[in-house]
Amino acid sequence: MQQLTYGKSFEAALYIHIPFCRHMCLYCDFAKTARWQSTEVNSYFTGLRQQYGLWKNYFQQLGVKPLWKTVNFGGGTPSLFIDHLCQFLAFVGPDCQADAEISLEANPLDITEPHTTQALRQSGFNRISIGVQSFDPQGLKTLTRDHSPTTSHQAITHALQSFPHVGIDLIYCWPQQSLLQWEQDLQTALSYPLQHLSCYNMTYAEGTPFGRMVRRGALTPHVPDREAEYYNLARKYLQGNNWQQEEVSNWSQEGYACKHNLCYWQMEPYLGLGTGAHGFLTNIASLPQEGIRYAYHSRIHKFCTHQHLPPQTNPSLIWDRRERSHWMLEYLGSGLRTAQGICFEKVTAMGFTFKPTPFLEQARTRGDIHWNSKYLQLKPQEWFRETSWAVECSRAFQDSSE
């Protein structure tokens, strides 16, 4: 792994979390709130700028200068605050690479006018991901979304007129969705000249209204085997239309893979800012080789209260110094669900050696998994089961330091 010296650029991704929403979707488990006032929003963005400056000071103490290759605004609903986003991008812009991917997540309702997407593009944004989730009125109602198929059409149309890279998010396996409805959503998506498509399996996280409804029997999710049918339908349909699968949930046209996502999947460093945001610091000589993870507290008030404190002493930051074995399992869990797979050079640099187990040898014979001198890769049909594969594969990587 690259070792950096004082003053050398530290290439990484930057994520900024905006936790404010107009409307709460009952399935969402991200840090967010629909109860806010403009004064609270102003204070939050002030806190983001202050925290960013303190992180830069921290990096300077570590002997590096950040250079962002991607910047992504997520939430919440960042598209509610176009002016704030443009101002913050101007604030961090001097620390970005000239060809950096600058993206935001948008609610269709916020970008139905052309002047909105034009303002974002003129400010430096070059990628937008629109949270369509479904083109089906029943699906939007079930998912408790606050927009309509017509709104999605307007948003996509204006985005395509302004941005060189437009993607949308879809959710499949929502309660009572049929395979035909899912196929129709995919057909509608491909009727637009999009560059990226994210297809997420419906989840029922603990702590969400949907999760509680499932627990008390008020909502019935699809069974796992049924979920695999929906996944494979999408995989075959998109592949048949010349879309490239980057990862279990992400597809793109050639040359339009999401660079920000790739940083997450390949265990590259990224700085997360804001309520509930996570970060991963690695490739810095003065930090442990396996890197350090951290997360901000999920309460907005706590973030704003401690916005003036540096990372080392900020009580709203939770540091997670993991063992090398944790790094290996995390890398397997994220890398095995991608087209690139597991890079042996990266694993070797961390001090691990690969010795295939009988289980993996049998899986290789079946064609479920493949490896050569450079990469270990699952066949796409198995990306859906990356968690169980990560556990099995971890038994084949031995820590040479032990």
CATH number at residue 186: 3.20.20.70
Residue 351 within a domain = yes
* Highest mean predicted confidence (pLDDT) among 91-95, 221-225, 226-230: 91-95
To the nearest whole number, what is the mean pLDDT of the chain? 94
Question: What percent of the chain is predicted at pLDDT more than 70?
Answer: 98
**Measuring CA to CA, which residue among 127, 128, 129, 147 is closest to residue 137?**
147
Verify that 230 and 137 share a domain, yes or no. Answer: yes
**Identity of the amino acid at 196:** H
Verify that 242 and 102 share a domain, yes or no. Answer: yes
**Measuring CA to CA, which residue among 374, 272, 285 is closest to residue 318?**
272
Question: Quick check: helix, strand or coil at residue 146?
Answer: coil
Structural domain ending residue among the three candidates 263, 280, 314: 263
- DSSP assignment, residue 269? -
Give the structural domain span for 76: 8-263
What pLDDT is recorded for position 321?
81
**Identity of the amino acid at 24:** M
Question: Quick check: helix, strand or coil at residue 144?
Answer: coil
Quickly tell me which residue has 């869990």 as its tokens: 333
Residue 1 within a domain = no
Question: Quick check: helix, strand or coil at residue 13?
Answer: strand
Residue 222 within a domain = yes
With beta carbons less than 8 A apart as the criterion, state whether 389 and 378 touch. Answer: yes
Q: State residue 169 phi and psi, 5-degree precision.
A: -105, 140
Verify that 102 and 250 share a domain, yes or no. Answer: yes
Question: What percent of the chain is predicted at pLDDT more than 90?
Answer: 85
* Highest mean predicted confidence (pLDDT) among 21-25, 190-194, 201-205, 220-224: 190-194
User: 3 pLDDT band (50/70/90 cuts)?
Assistant: very low
Verify that 174 and 256 share a domain, yes or no. Answer: yes
Structural domain ending residue among the three candidates 214, 236, 263: 263
- Please count the structural domains in the chain: 2
Verify that 19 and 153 share a domain, yes or no. Answer: yes
Residue 356 within a domain = yes
Residue 311 within a domain = no
**Identity of the amino acid at 23:** H
Residue 101 within a domain = yes
User: 371 pLDDT band (50/70/90 cuts)?
Assistant: very high
Give pTM, 2 decimals.
0.94
Verify that 237 and 338 share a domain, yes or no. Answer: no
The pLDDT tens digits of the residues spanning 53-74 come to: 999 999 999 999 999 999 999 9
pLDDT over 90 at 340, yes or no: yes
pLDDT (average), residues 217-234: 90
Residue 142 within a domain = yes
Question: Quick check: helix, strand or coil at residue 297?
Answer: coil
- One-character DSSP codes across 39-75: HHHHHHHHHHHHHHHHHHHHHHHHTEEEEEEEEEEEE
Verify that 51 and 198 share a domain, yes or no. Answer: yes
